[in-house]
Chains A and B, each alone.
Chain A
């Protein structure tokens, strides 16, 4: 019995099985922007620094891709993604922006941040943090990870205010946030004095130069009054002032979806929710001209926002994660230790050099080790080998599968159990210098004892460096 399926991606399979032969779904332009003609170049530049995507679950209504496309159409120069308590949307966001640049479209600067839900009296208070640079991004991820672990429950991060204040070291910009931000909330509840106290607390924690007062422009009757007061407070405190749209969807057409999500979040019908819904969906992305019209009242704010946006924008590729170092015996590097381990185990698989059972096996292993070393993945192989060794030692069924089966090193190390050399499997399908990104070795582990392996990994590398990952699943209507 054998399988003879051609290598067809699921997307292609789905397309072929659907009616019609249109382009794959991913290639279609997002619905929110399809009806609108592209905006001519030469527009007023603008940076949107407060933007939720659909990764702010049941809050944002647009995917990062839709936001990027709309921002490009509007001529927005910098877009910051600031989802709630996580960076879940960042990969899609960065990819969409990179694709945009690859296609020769406008270059959209990407900035990264998060809106943290801090425990407050009664309601949660929101704190908007933007990473000034890659280091700021790392520090932000660290505190969010710690808070998510400390919360002990999904979607209930528990931040330590003191730790936040200690963690920034000038790599963050803190905005005063939406109406749930500490300063606007205090202004609404307790007047300017209360807002002043909150503002002083923020500057005390994060430093005078790292706190910016945020004016939110959403065409709400209360906007002007609140923004006037915030601007006056900022002038008194000599703080920078920026403006945002507190964006929750790309275009006005998505406003209804946003309201439906809000109703779902509150587990009410839309009609019951009426008294809490925004008067109109105005939390969409705006162009530089639109913001200039809104901000005429506050001279200098548009420029200040743009300046901050440009400062905070960086390419996501600079923060590509690095695998943790693998502990090796003294005198060894990761590469030499991998060579050592492989050399120890090759004879059992292929026989000693000169008397190999499979012709060319030693040559192939040497070639693979060279590639692995050149690409710097030795540590990765060591980590996987370590996990497999743990399984072997504890008598847990474990089997490498997928493209790793093309590697004689994997076979030698016991990660896989099919001899790729005698079956003439192609190593380049697994790892080659022509392709970037780390290889992936899939391990199937006996399901009843998988938890033991997971706990071993957590113990070995630390709970803050090992995580279970999930796919982003989307449903098509």
Chain B
């Protein structure tokens, strides 16, 4: 639920009175729900499900908040929807969007609302309008890939909003609080060395705790608390690869950084009054532990560097951005390789330990086209070569013309090898006749006849 007070929001510039009014407003709203996020001055948001249940529904809750603010002399509107963006829009005219209705609510909004809170989206909104996309619904209907490639990051962000999603995808699990480990020092420890030593044991219990849940962390946050309450907190890249000693090293570096005396000497001077009171290790960005993984290249285990680089790219571009090919079963060149996100230990789509009768044997094609390419295969007289239901060939293939490429003379061919797979599942059924064709330029092709037309699926070069 979003509560917006337009007169607080719209006025520009610092104003002590307005700031005080804002604080009063926040006090009122937190009276209804303690966990309130300030979106901007005069606008706040909170998860409404719990409080709404307590106060007898969203409408009742909204009415109470509005009434309480009106007592303060603040004019306010509330909006309820799934997601912050939609709730903000709903708050403009005090709407309550029923659960699940957000997509429909957003679909009716003009694209100009994208620019309401994000000035950088003004150009985008104007452009969309010129393109004839007048509502968010029109925009949301576009495939996300196309939007991303045409309008870039900002476009994708706007597209997410239009679809009722949050600003950016949530990539991590929130670390459960009990995964952090703390060592308190009583009496306070004035020297760095014992702290570093304790860090080793602490790192071990951190790792045990994570491993027990099948997790690992991308970073570890090391927090050192001094007796006077000051803290030094720093995040270190972990990726599940740091040993206990390596964590201890980082504690040492952190203490050294805080107290720039070389060699980890006594920390009991004026910079660290009273010595160190506590050391806390907090796993940051907890992810599922994938264990040891096979190499991207070659058969050996992934070296730390490759794994780290791959996970870094995944962290930046998403889990699906780094894929590893896994050899599986299946009768087609395209089926036999399953791309699996790096770090996952998934089985190939089709199990490899089966005979798969009728698969094309011999050397695997070097090139499998992502989408089969249309082609024409003709006989000596220039007529298209066809295959009957009983695998009778109309004539020997003489020429292969892959669309967009010059026609090639066929110097050798084998087939037809019919394939009629998974006919029991109409969505996965596949019926075609396969051929290998060799052409005059020394290339060989894996071609199929499907629904009477020729397609080239792979090439042997």
| Chain A residues packing against B (C-beta within 8 Å) | 219-222, 224-225, 252, 255-256, 270-271, 274-282, 284, 286, 290, 293
Contact = CB atoms under 8 A, between A and B. Distances in A.
Interface in B308-358: 329, 331, 350-351, 354-358
Contact of A282 (B391, B414, B421, B434): B391
B357 A278 contact: yes
Contacts of B418: 219, 279-280, 282
Nearest to A220: B358
B417 interface: yes
Nearest to B389: A252
Contact of B420 (A255, A271, A276, A290): A255
B428 to A, nearest CB: 9
Nearest to A281: B420
Given A274-B350, A276-B354, 19 more contacts: A219-B417, A220-B357, A221-B358, A221-B359, A221-B417, A221-B434, A222-B361, A270-B422, A271-B422, A274-B354, A275-B354, A276-B355, A279-B417, A279-B418, A279-B419, A279-B420, A280-B419, A280-B421, A286-B390
B379 to A, nearest CB: 15
B425 interface: yes
Given A219-B416, A293-B392, A279 B354 contact: no
Given A252-B390, A290-B392, A279 B357 contact: yes
Interface of A is mostly: loop
B391 A219 contact: yes
Contacts of A282: 391, 418
B231 to A, nearest CB: 58
B224 to A, nearest CB: 57
A275 B351 contact: yes
Interface string B405-427: 00000000010111111111100
Nearest to A289: B392
A275 B390 contact: no
A219 B418 CA distance: 7
A13 B417 CA distance: 48
B346 to A, nearest CB: 18
Contacts of B423: 256
Given A219-B416, A219-B417, A271-B422, A277 B357 contact: yes
Nearest to B360: A221
24 contacts: A219-B391, A219-B418, A220-B358, A220-B417, A221-B359, A221-B360, A221-B434, A224-B414, A252-B389, A255-B420, A256-B423, A270-B422, A274-B350, A274-B421, A275-B350, A276-B357, A277-B357, A279-B357, A279-B419, A280-B358, A280-B431, A281-B420, A282-B391, A284-B390
Contacts of B434: 221
Contacts of B389: 252
A263 to B, nearest CB: 9
A278 B357 CA distance: 5
Q: For this complex, into which size category does the number of interface residues on chain B fall?
A: 20 to 34
| Residue of A274, A284, A286 with most chain B CB atoms under a 10 A cut-off | A274
Given A219-B391, A221-B358, A222-B361, A280 B420 contact: yes
Contacts of B358: 220-221, 278-280
Contacts of B356: 275, 279
Interface in B368-407: 389-393
A221 B433 CA distance: 11
Contact of B425 (A271, A277, A279, A280): A271
A276 B360 CA distance: 15
B82 to A, nearest CB: 37
A276 B425 CA distance: 17
A277 B420 CA distance: 10
A291 to B, nearest CB: 11
Contacts of B391: 219, 282, 290
Contacts of A280: 358, 418-421, 431
Nearest to B420: A280
B386 to A, nearest CB: 14
Interface in B251-294: none
A122 to B, nearest CB: 14
A220 B415 CA distance: 8
Contacts of A256: 423-424
A275 B331 CA distance: 9
B331 A271 contact: no
Contacts of A286: 390
Contacts of A274: 350, 354, 421-422
B336 to A, nearest CB: 12
Contacts of A271: 422, 424-425
B424 to A, nearest CB: 5
A225 B357 CA distance: 15
Contacts of B420: 255, 279-281
A224 B358 CA distance: 12
A394 B180 CA distance: 91
B396 to A, nearest CB: 11
Contact of A275 (B355, B393, B419): B355
B359 A279 contact: yes
A280 B421 CA distance: 7
Contacts of B357: 220, 276-279
A35 B331 CA distance: 31
Contacts of A252: 389-390
A397 to B, nearest CB: 53
B212 to A, nearest CB: 35
A200 to B, nearest CB: 27
Contact of A279 (B329, B331, B351, B393): B331
Nearest to A225: B361
Nearest to A282: B418
B361 A221 contact: yes
Contacts of B392: 290, 293
A274 B416 CA distance: 21
A254 to B, nearest CB: 13
Contacts of A278: 357-358
Contacts of B422: 270-271, 274
Contacts of B424: 256, 270-271
Contacts of B414: 221, 224
Closest 10 CB pairs of A and B: A279-B358, A275-B354, A280-B418, A280-B420, A221-B417, A270-B424, A279-B419, A221-B360, A219-B391, A278-B357
Nearest to B425: A271
Contacts of A293: 392-393
A293 B351 CA distance: 35
Nearest to A278: B357
A290 B391 CA distance: 9
